[in-house]
Chain A
Amino acid sequence: MIVVKSSPKSLVAARTSVHSRTSPRQQLTLVPFFEAVRLALATIRVQKLKSFFTALGVCIGVMFLIAVVSIVDGMGRYMENDLVGKLIALNSFELRSRPNINIGDVDRATGLEYARRPRILESDVPAVAAALPEGTLWSMSSDAGLKVESPYSRPRSASITAMDGDYFQIKKMGVTSGRLFTPGEMTSGASVVVLGPDLVARLFPTVDALGRQVKIGGKLYTVVGIGESLGSAFGMSFDNYVYAPFRSPIHRLLNREAHAIDVMAIQAPTPEALTDVQEKVRAVMRARHQLRPSQKDNFSLQTADTALDFWNKIKQYLVLAGIALPAVGLVVGAIVIMNIRLVAVAERTHEIGIRKALGAKRRDILAQFMIEASTLSTFGAILGIAAGAALAFIIRTTTPMPTYVAPWSIVVGVLIGAGVGIISGVYPASRASLLDPVAALRQE
């Protein structure tokens, strides 16, 4: 019946002189970290539902963080790189009568002042060009939305631009088939056009557009090239364009005032030279408009930065919202986690009692519950990042809203997620570590 082998004796005999062991021991007995993580993972496996809800608390907060930040970031990149960047090229500015990108409100007084401004004239262009330093590119253009006709489709609206100078170079534009205008066509004002890909698809759905003719304002123009795609913004295509030489008959359709142009674009050779070039242009234009020193400019020099001013203003609010919204989610998550952790401590009181009886110190119990909480919340944060990135992807593919998941937001997401778990785990874990072993053992 009895199966005691001789070994208990050897166990006891193996003991060294008992009394010698009573000297003070300052041995570090904190349970090693990896041991605690292993224990945490084992507990998570066993308590699946509770672990799931704990992780969910962090997951939702982090998901919102990632999604909102990706929207704000995506919009920002979009504004800076695509929208404004496409409208106004790098290192360049536009001389206009009045700014064409007015994202903010324009008050009545400003509106009236804009209306009184003189137009930029064709004759201003050589004077300005003469003042530009070497290596500076310039172009002039006028544009308007007009109907374009072809024999293969009904008339379509398009954005028509008549241009001269280094227009295509400044816009960094090329053709996907055919060619751009020759210098001869430019000087003679030939009736030739370069069409945008979207317009080509509409006007010539079944045949090759190259060499065929389109009719604009009752006059025929020959298609010599199909331009590169400029992309789209908020679902609005930029590829519905027609370019023609400035001196072609088309320019009469674009400006009611004779000899007026819409814009002179100027590209400085380097970013550093931009301000200098701007000041030179400003001086020439003020002289031509005979402005006294006390008078303000009655023309506009618009750079990408000035166009982005407004965006930068709303971005501040968006970033605030981007922080506030997920913060609410994370606070809710933290409360959920703290509750679940408190329940976990209450349920495991007996276990804590056993561990304490076997020699677990306060910090051992504290570490056990803290590591458990932070393992869970880091896990939740990683899930949240995946869910947030997925949400960002869904937004990007189903709405015109651009999103971009920045690497920094992933790092911040993990840190915040783990941090929330740790902070909300502190109180329950400290309650566990302070339990009285006798009372804890008594509880079943």
Chain B
Amino acid sequence: MSNNTEEAPLSTTAERHAVVGAAGTAPGKDWVIVTREIKREYDMGGEIVRALRGVNLAVRRNEYVAIMGPSGSGKSTLMNLIGCLDTPNAGEYWLNGQMVSTMKDDDLARVRNKEIGFVFQTFNLLPRASALHNVELPLVYAGISSGERKQRANEALEAVGLGNRVHHRPNELSGGQRQRVAIARALVNRPSILLADEPTGNLDSSTSEEIMKVFESLAESGQTVIMVTHEPDIAAHARRVVVLRDGLIASDDRREKFAEKLGGGAH
């Protein structure tokens, strides 16, 4: 880890304005994620739930960020917005130079396909499809020919150490192996960000460590990684930790500082 100040987290309004520009303008090339005052409200049977109340988050290319927070803090909502599964009620979201917060369904689908690699807590593999077919899926929707798909999917499985498991179905694989298939699937279309939602939530601690090492090595190789988790020791693997509370960013620190706080007995 370098101590370069440019690597420092940025989230306060003043800093953001200084570095990533004002509302309505595209952020600089270095910024893969920029949100400006995004809000998301839900109508729960007449009662308005304000899940996000104006979040400003800027993530530089090649960063490894953990988003933390207790349940109800809005971290799932934020992850859905970052993942382009949902759009904010207000505010701007720029992903890799594109304003995605105003996009329609099909454009969002295209952005998800090209820019985002999802890794879910429950793996979300198609149960009846082989590992290979699961990994091929994003390429299918990208309109890539069958031959190239097979080759790239095989390579991706190879890369996560499952080269000898390509024809196994999810139920023939261990939890750790399933999550590796999911990681291969997330990376096969070379996304701008790898977005992981509680990636170790369904795994035992040693398998969790294994998966975290995979993330680490991906981050080292230059992959932008965003990980949503409620476990501090998992979050501590990231180089930057954003903590959400009540729909707002409560803190945004580098790992060292986060560890310091954690050690200080905040919980």
Binding site for B on A (CB under 8 A): 1-5, 7-15, 18-19, 21-22, 25, 27-32, 35, 42, 46, 350-351, 353-364, 437-438, 441
Contacts and interface: CB of A to CB of B under 8 A. Distances in A.
Given A8-B218, A437-B85, A438-B85, A358 B138 contact: yes
Interface residues of B, number: 52
20 contacts: A4-B160, A8-B159, A8-B214, A8-B217, A9-B217, A11-B221, A12-B187, A12-B221, A18-B32, A19-B97, A21-B192, A29-B113, A31-B143, A359-B138, A359-B142, A360-B141, A362-B105, A362-B106, A437-B86, A441-B120
B210 A1 contact: yes
Of residues B32, B109, B146, B213, which shows the largest number of chain A Cβ atoms within 10 Å of its Cβ? B109
B192 A18 contact: yes
B100 to A, nearest CB: 11
Interface string B148-166: 0000000110111100000
A5 B221 contact: no
Contacts of A356: 85, 109, 112
A358 B141 contact: yes
B200 interface: no
A356 B111 CA distance: 11
A10 B223 CA distance: 11
B202 interface: no
Given A1-B210, A361-B106, A11 B142 contact: no
Contact of B161 (A5, A13, A351): A5
B110 interface: yes
Which 3 A-B pairs give the minimum distances between C-beta atoms? A359-B113, A7-B159, A9-B221
Contacts of B159: 5, 7-8, 10-11
A14 B188 CA distance: 11
Contacts of A11: 155-156, 159, 187, 190, 221
A359 B96 contact: no
Nearest to A363: B106
B97 A359 contact: no
Contacts of A18: 32, 61, 96, 192
Contacts of A4: 160-161, 213-214, 217
A29 B218 contact: no
Contacts of B86: 437-438
B143 A2 contact: no
A1 B125 CA distance: 24
Contacts of A1: 206, 209-210
B8 to A, nearest CB: 22
Contacts of B29: 19
A432 to B, nearest CB: 13
A32 B142 CA distance: 11
Interface in B18-66: 29, 32, 61
Nearest to A31: B140
B185 interface: yes
Contacts of A32: 143
A5 B161 CA distance: 7
A30 B143 contact: yes
Nearest to B158: A7
A357 B126 CA distance: 12
A218 to B, nearest CB: 88
Of residues B29, B140, B158, which shows the largest number of chain A Cβ atoms within 10 Å of its Cβ? B140
B109 A361 contact: yes
Contacts of A359: 109-110, 112-114, 138, 141-142, 189
Given A2-B213, A12-B218, A438 B143 contact: no
B113 to A, nearest CB: 2
B192 A357 contact: no
Contacts of A358: 112-113, 118, 137-138, 141, 185
B83 interface: yes
Given A7-B158, A22-B98, A29-B110, A438 B217 contact: no
A357 B185 CA distance: 12
A3 B113 contact: no
Nearest to A23: B97
A19 B26 CA distance: 13
Interface string B234-251: 000000000000000000
Given A4-B214, A7-B159, A438-B85, A357 B222 contact: no
A147 to B, nearest CB: 78
A320 to B, nearest CB: 46
Contacts of B106: 361-363
Given A8-B218, A22-B96, 9 more contacts: A1-B206, A1-B210, A11-B190, A18-B32, A357-B112, A358-B113, A359-B142, A362-B105, A441-B120
Contact of A3 (B80, B96, B161, B220): B161
A96 to B, nearest CB: 75
Contacts of A360: 109, 141
A25 B114 CA distance: 10
